Amino acid sequence: MSELQFDRHRRMRMTSSLRDLVRETTVKKDDLIYPVFAVEGTDTKHEVPSMPGVYQYSLDLLKKEIDDVVEHGIKAIMLFGVPGNKDELGSNAYNENGIVQRAIRELKGEHPELTIIADTCLCQYTDHGHCGVIEDGYILNDRSLDLLVKTAVSQVEAGADVIAPSNMMDGFVAAIRSGLDEADFRDIPIMSYAVKYASAYYGPFRDAAHSSPSFGDRRTYQMDPANRNEAIREAMSDDREGADFLIVKPALSYLDIVSDVKSTINRPVVAYNVSGEYSMIKAAAAQGWLDEKETVIEKLTSMKRAGADLIVTYFAKDMARYINESDM
């Protein structure tokens, strides 16, 4: 054995404190964005059946939930609305008294320091469940942009700090940036869903947001999961058009894309840890097949390691609690 030559990597792993000293990647509370769902009505707290621990809240109870979010040390939420009424053009998306607009005003009044990121899309608000204007069964790109601009402006007028357009129409960042600038909201950032795949992992979210398409699917505007180079083209377009953050969605099966976008474009990259990724862990943990805490930490760390600067995750409160416990 004395003649063998090899490296002793284990030296750096021998104690917990030593491993902490040389850890290359950590998840901080400042990295976390918590998605929340606002619904019409009062005294409503409805658990999403496919997402244990995730709820739709009426505005009176949403305030209590956000109090808890802030107490955990989370500084940003992504706000989704579930309207009481839907129509062909999704008019409640840009209604100044829509569910998201009212939620923003109320939450900003309670927590002015909280960063509110408004999801800017039409699918929750249209009676057909698609992300734009429909004509003869086809989603019209350019006509849809006008409604997305109206939605973004109305959300900022209500007090949103960041606009997060998720529709995947061509030119949506350019249109919204122009619309915000014309409305004198030049300082409002755009967190673009730059790379959004047509993924099976979105299923539970559609329970939460009531946004399933009534016909067809979204493959004519969301990306093919098999494509890697296309993701860079999409992200570069949004960068040129004025995006300030770039979202990759989903995250777990697309860590190569997170890494590619981060290494190609000098913008903050956001990994969206989507509903299906959440529900898989919840289901396995309920059966005792996984340690939920350890799996969540490992998963979110992998997203940071791949290059994500921020993570949108339904596990945000859990992760913040793990971090707080480790600091005690």
Which pLDDT band, with edges at 50, 70 and 90, does 59 fall under? very high
The mean per-residue pLDDT over the stretch 221-235 comes to: 95
Q: Does a structural domain hold residue 13?
A: no
Looking at every residue in the chain, the average pLDDT score rounds to 92
The mean per-residue pLDDT over the stretch 161-171 comes to: 91
The mean per-residue pLDDT over the stretch 238-259 comes to: 97
Residue 131 marked as a ligand binder? yes
Higher pLDDT, 217 or 99: 99
Query: Could you tell me which of 101, 98, 93 has the C-alpha nearest to residue 158?
Result: 101
| CATH value at residue 47 | 3.20.20.70
pLDDT at 231 over 60: yes
Residue 272 marked as a ligand binder? no
Residue 218 marked as a ligand binder? yes
CA angle 291, 293, 296 (to 5 degrees): 100
pLDDT at 320 over 50: yes
- Whether this prediction's pTM lies above 0.95 is answered by no
Cα separation, 250 vs 272, in Å, equals 6
The mean per-residue pLDDT over the stretch 214-232 comes to: 83
pLDDT of residue 328: 42
The pLDDT tens digits for 107-161 are 999 999 999 999 998 888 887 777 777 878 788 888 899 999 999 999 999 999 9
Least confident of 63-72, 74-83, 207-216, 229-238: 207-216
The pLDDT tens digits for 84-110 are 888 888 888 999 999 999 999 999 999
Q: Compute CA distances 205 → 169, 234, 267, whole Å.
A: 20, 23, 27
Which pLDDT band, with edges at 50, 70 and 90, does 211 fall under? low
pLDDT of residue 33: 98
Residue 125 marked as a ligand binder? no
Query: Residue 266 has which token pair?
Result: 């000098």
Cα separation, 225 vs 265, in Å, equals 21
pLDDT of residue 280: 96
pLDDT of residue 313: 98
pLDDT at 218 over 90: no
Least confident of 91-95, 207-211, 284-288: 207-211
In the residue annotation, 249 being an active-site residue is answered as yes
In the residue annotation, 293 being an active-site residue is answered as no
Query: Residue 172 has which token pair?
Result: 């949506």
Strand partners, 126: 87
> How many domains are there within the chain?
1
Cα separation, 8 vs 2, in Å, equals 14
From the list 29, 75, 150, 249, the catalytic residue is 249
The answer to whether the Cα torsion of 153, 197, 262, 269 is positive or negative is positive
Q: Does a structural domain hold residue 167?
A: yes
pLDDT at 34 over 90: yes
Alpha carbons within 13 angstroms on the beta-carbon side of residue 87 total 7
Q: Does a structural domain hold residue 108?
A: yes
Q: Does a structural domain hold residue 256?
A: yes
- Percentage of the residues of the chain whose pLDDT score is greater than 90: 79
Q: Does a structural domain hold residue 235?
A: yes
In order, the DSSP letters of 188-234 are --BEEEEEEB--GGGHHHHHHHT---SSS-STTTSBPTT-SHHHHHH
Least confident of 71-80, 202-211, 220-229: 202-211
Query: Residue 206 has which token pair?
Result: 């559609």
Neighbours of 89 (CB within 10 A): 18
| Helical (H) or strand (E) element with 39 | strand 32-39
From the list 86, 196, 282, 304, the catalytic residue is 196
The mean per-residue pLDDT over the stretch 205-232 comes to: 75
Q: Does a structural domain hold residue 230?
A: yes
The pLDDT tens digits for 289-314 are 999 999 999 999 999 999 999 999 99
Q: Does a structural domain hold residue 211?
A: yes
pLDDT of residue 123: 84
State the chain's maximal CA–CA distance in angstroms: 78
Residue 123 marked as a ligand binder? yes
pLDDT at 206 over 70: no
Q: Which domain holds residue 205?
A: 25-326
